[in-house]
Amino acid sequence: MEKIELKIVGLSYSQTQSGAYALVFSEKNGTRRLPIIIGGFEAQSIAIELEKMKPSRPLTHDLFKAFADSFHIEVKEVVIYNLIEGVFYSKLICEQNGNEIEIDARTSDAIAIGLRCESPVYTFEHILSSAGIQLEDEMIGESPETTSEETTSETKPKKGNDLGSKTNEELEALLKDALDTEDYERASKIRDEIKKRN
């Protein structure tokens, strides 16, 4: 079966499941989207890597990457290979000393690790045809950056938020403090406010 490469276009709070997030992929060379519901911890870990934030202490997925690097294990790709009763099944394709190894993983963990290892993500046609969403005409051609901004609007500061009244220097100090205390949700909001001003 031919693999189809995916790219992340958004991460947003799930409207259907409390405390969960929707990680949205798009075909690299197509118009279908593939939404996957993931837990809050994994969403936070993925968001931190997407935003290139540096936590004060390594998260579980950072630890996995450090472990793999230390033992010269290369994570070559992430493959979302099956979908059974709404559950996506994934594996990491790794290589060590010329030997290829497949490691079964939850999709959210596989993506969080794959992002850190800069590994491509693939799936198959039968998964996209059953769980993918075809974009409407007006959405085709929309850049991933725009989509990402829209789907992460829940993390942006709302009106009346205290961040709008802070100076850039105060925001930078608050961002450092949020990262030091591992309050990544607040760090994300502060980062959004800083980006909005630049």
| CA–CA distance, 91 with 189 (Å, rounded to integer) | 32
Q: Could you give the domains of the chain?
A: 3-153 (3.10.690.10), 156-198 (no CATH)
Residue-by-residue pLDDT tens, the chain, 198 positions: 899 999 999 998 877 777 889 999 999 989 999 999 999 999 999 999 999 998 999 999 999 999 999 999 999 999 999 999 999 999 999 999 999 999 999 999 999 999 999 999 999 999 999 999 887 543 444 444 433 333 333 333 333 357 888 888 888 888 888 777 767 667 777 877 887 887
11: helix, strand or coil: strand
Q: What is the DSSP string of 45-106?
A: HHHHHHTT---SS--HHHHHHHHHHHTT-EEEEEEEEEEETTEEEEEEEEEETTEEEEEEEE
pLDDT tens figures, 20-77: 899 999 999 899 999 999 999 999 999 999 999 989 999 999 999 999 999 999 999 9
Q: Is the pTM of this model over 0.85?
A: no
